[in-house]
A and B are shown apart, each in its own frame.
Chain A
Amino acid sequence: MIPNDRLYAKSHEWVKVEGDTATFGITDFAQQQLGDLTYVELPSVGDTFAAGDEFGSVESVKAASELYAPVGGEVVEINESLEDAPEKVNADPYGEGWLVKVKTSGAPEGLLDAAGYQAAIESEGH
Chain B
Amino acid sequence: MPYVPHTPDEVREMLAVIGAKSVGELFAEIKDEMRPKSFDLPEGRSEMEVLAHMERLAAKNANPEISFLGAGFYDHHIPAAVDALSSRGEFYTAYTPYQPEASQGTLQAIFEYQTAMSRLMGLECANASVYDGGTALYEALMMAVRQTKRRKVVVSESLNPIYRVMLRSYTTNLDLELVTVPHAEGNTNMDGLLAAMDGETAAVLVQNPNFFGSVNDFSALFSAAHEHKAVCVLLTYPVLQSVLKTPGEMGADVAVAEGQSLGLPLSFGGPYLGVMTCTRKMVRQLPGRVAGRTEDSEGRTGYVLTLQAREQHIRRQKATSNICSNQALCALRAIIHLSLLGEEGLRRTALLSMERAHYAAERLAAIPGVKMLTQGSFGNEFAVLLPVNAYEAVSRLLERNVVAGFPLGRYYEGLENGLLVACTEKTSEEQIGLFAEMLRGVLA
Q: Which residues of B contact A60 (CB under 8 A)?
A: 309
For chain A, give the interface size range: under 10
Q: CB < 8 Å: which of B284, B315, B318 contacts A39?
A: B284
Chain B minimum-CB-distance residue to A60: B309
Of A41, A59, A66, chain B has the most CB atoms within 10 Å of the CB of A59
Contact with B along A5-40 (1 / 0, CB 8 A): 000000000000000000000000000000000110
Contact with A along B309-341 (1 / 0, CB 8 A): 110001100100000000000000000000000
Which residues 247-294 of B sit at the A interface, judged by CB distance below 8 A?
284
Contact call A63/B284, Cβ cutoff below 8 A: no
A41 to B146, CA, bound (A): 12
Chain B CB within 8 A of A76 CB: no
Measured CB to CB, the nearest residue on chain B to A47 is B149
Chain A residues contacting B315 (CB-CB under 8 Å) are 63-64
Per DSSP, chain A at the interface is strand
Contact in complex: B314, A41 (CB < 8 Å): no
A66 to B318, CA, bound (A): 10
A63 partner residues in chain B, CB cutoff 8 A: 309, 314-315
Find the residue from B309, B310, B315, B318 having the highest chain A CB count within 10 A: B309
For residue A12, give the distance in angstroms from its CB to the closest CB of chain B: 17
Minimum C-beta distance from B301 to chain A (A): 19
Q: How far is the CA of A38 from the CA of B309 in the complex (A)?
A: 10
Which residues 37-88 of A have a CB within 8 angstroms of B?
38-39, 41, 57, 59-60, 63-64, 66
Nearest residue, chain B, Cβ from A39: B284
Please, which residues of chain A bring their CB within 8 A of the CB of B284? 39, 41, 59
Q: Mark B144-155, 1 if CB is under 8 A from A, else 0.
A: 000000000000
Residue of A nearest to B281 (CB): A83
Complex CA distance for A59 and B315, rounded to whole angstroms: 12
**A66 CB, nearest partner CB in chain B, Å:** 8
B314 proximity list for chain A (CB < 8 A) = 63-64
Query: Can you give 11 A-B contacts (C-beta < 8 A)?
Result: A39-B309, A41-B284, A57-B318, A59-B309, A59-B310, A60-B309, A63-B315, A64-B309, A64-B314, A64-B315, A64-B318
| Smallest CB-CB A-B distances: 4 pairs | A64-B309, A59-B309, A63-B309, A64-B315
